[in-house]
Structure 1
């Protein structure tokens, strides 16, 4: 694997981090990052990030997970971070050819994790869009994960209340229209942390985290991304509807949702967690969208719950692995 850049100064991850270029089966170059964690990790957590995000944003998550016994990896999905941008003439537009293309990216990451012999068992945390990617990946038995955790998962797209009943028709109509590569109303090429002030933001209540995100954008503008294209929104609406029609996987699960979540469509999250037997659902009072960027007490609550899930699932998986 070819080494890729990793800005460790702005990532603030644990020592030993490294990044690599990966080439997917359909020829897209994405970026994969890994932090080894403690000397004897209990497993590796795949951090499946959301739209607009990038590896360096999850350096602190790697440190939190390392403190709890786990290695961590993260990925720049196609179209964001330092991965190939899919509209070269408009690189700030968040775009994807088809929503299932992210599964091709995840397949490349899983392959890389095996090639690097990263510690097993494997788990994942899916945040926002990464929550939809993760839920799709664990349908059926053909996946390597022993447990799944979610942070404000994108299992429904929040649209205008008057348009909500017509979202599927609108997605089908506009997703392939001549305007599909344009921005939806209210969106533009400016990255979110520059569009809103801290007091108006919908991501975090932690001013130190907000300042850190601003600093990352200023130091590495190539990592940033603007609003999504109409096509991305349409693809995401249709994928959420498809996922909502599926049963919940037979896999240990924990899901956290902010009590004042304003980004994803929360009824879809409540519905899914109400029909996932044995799963733990944690609505965190006062928290915004980015649980892992929230105030320290909220972050600690989330990481402790993830570690408890992974510890239990890893212990259950050990006898199976030993007898295999």
Structure 2
């Protein structure tokens, strides 16, 4: 079991955190970090969003520890300090969206090898919500799940949607599937956004923390997605939309100011989820676990209550 760096100074998570390198079934190196908790009620598997990394969830890990849970977070392939898939490491890329499930398999095997406290629970944010939904449908053994602004659809104008589908579908045939998707940038969003107009958080302190993490560890930064990532993610979201919700207790949070993922897709999915509940957070933006303290506390209190009820 190979030890990996954990940048504890920027994670601000519970004490005693550690990280390891894992190898996936297709030979890629990814990173996983976990925070132990004495006498934990269970372990929460944190599936981050696109561009994110283990340390970004140190505050979430602390919130979960305060409520009695150990936690584990992952650097997906192509981001954080896991293996990047392009020579230009600033572009987010994946061969097939289903490849992320190989990362999930490696994480579960690792959690079992460490004998992390059971039962397991799931938190999936944004892209991690898409990966997590597929994993649940394929039988991921968790007792309950929380989704935060899950990427079950992407906000695009009616006029842009056929262009995005068409251009990304042709990209491989014409040899530009590794190019940035239209309107995207190589610089990380949080480094080029201004706080007053950002789409992530209402909390200035958290916004500064997110920026500070990338200034302190520039290798963690990631820019926009490739055309290939765009196409394979659109196809995955469509495939998932055709399948019924899994029989797993679930709570989903959606901010009323969400500007990245598609609220209509989230509302439709949760309407048909047996035992599922949707909570719309007034004023919430995309990164609700990193929003104002009252929003964060509400989310983690309700999430812990769901997990407690399903242990």
Judge same fold: TM > 0.5, yes or no. yes
Partner in structure 2 of residue 2 of structure 1: 2
Note the C-alpha offset of 1:165.
Answer: 5.4
Query: Taking structure 1 as reference, are residues 61 and 175 closer, same or farther at Cα in structure 2, changes over 3 Å only?
Result: farther
Cα distance in 2 for partners of 1:257, 1:230 equals 27
Structure 2 unaligned regions, length at least 5: none
Cα distance in 2 for partners of 1:98, 1:284 equals 33
State yes or no: 1:128 paired with 2:126: yes
Cα distance in 1 for partners of 2:181, 2:18 equals 36
Among 150, 153, 160, the alignment partner of 2:150 is 153
Partner in structure 2 of residue 16 of structure 1: 16
Contact 2:121 2:142 in 1 (8 A): yes
Cα distance in 1 for partners of 2:181, 2:162 equals 18
RMSD: 1.2
Partner in structure 2 of residue 266 of structure 1: 263
Among 210, 213, 216, the alignment partner of 2:210 is 213
- Give the secondary structure class of the aligned counterpart of 2:144: strand
After superposition, residues 63-142 of structure 1 pair within 5 angstroms as: 63-87=62-86, 89-140=87-138, 142=139
Partner in structure 2 of residue 240 of structure 1: 237
Cα distance in 2 for partners of 1:25, 1:197 equals 40
Contact 1:176 1:231 in 2 (8 A): no
Query: Taking structure 1 as reference, are residues 176 and 209 closer, same or farther at Cα in structure 2, changes over 3 Å only?
Result: farther
Note the C-alpha offset of 1:143.
Answer: 2.1
- Give the secondary structure class of the aligned counterpart of 1:255: strand
Contact 1:157 1:236 in 2 (8 A): no
Structure 1 unaligned regions, length at least 5: 315-324
Per the normalisation by structure 2, the TM-score is 0.97
Partner in structure 2 of residue 30 of structure 1: 30
Cα distance in 2 for partners of 1:278, 1:60 equals 28
Note the C-alpha offset of 1:160.
Answer: 2.7
After superposition, residues 190-229 of structure 1 pair within 5 angstroms as: 190-229=187-226
- Give the count of matched residue pairs: 311
Cα distance in 2 for partners of 1:258, 1:48 equals 19
Note the C-alpha offset of 1:186.
Answer: 1.7
Partner in structure 2 of residue 184 of structure 1: 181
Cα distance in 1 for partners of 2:176, 2:197 equals 30
Note the C-alpha offset of 1:300.
Answer: 0.4
Contact 2:47 2:124 in 1 (8 A): yes
Cα distance in 2 for partners of 1:203, 1:147 equals 26
- Give the secondary structure class of the aligned counterpart of 1:3: strand
State yes or no: 1:48 paired with 2:82: no
- Give the secondary structure class of the aligned counterpart of 1:282: strand
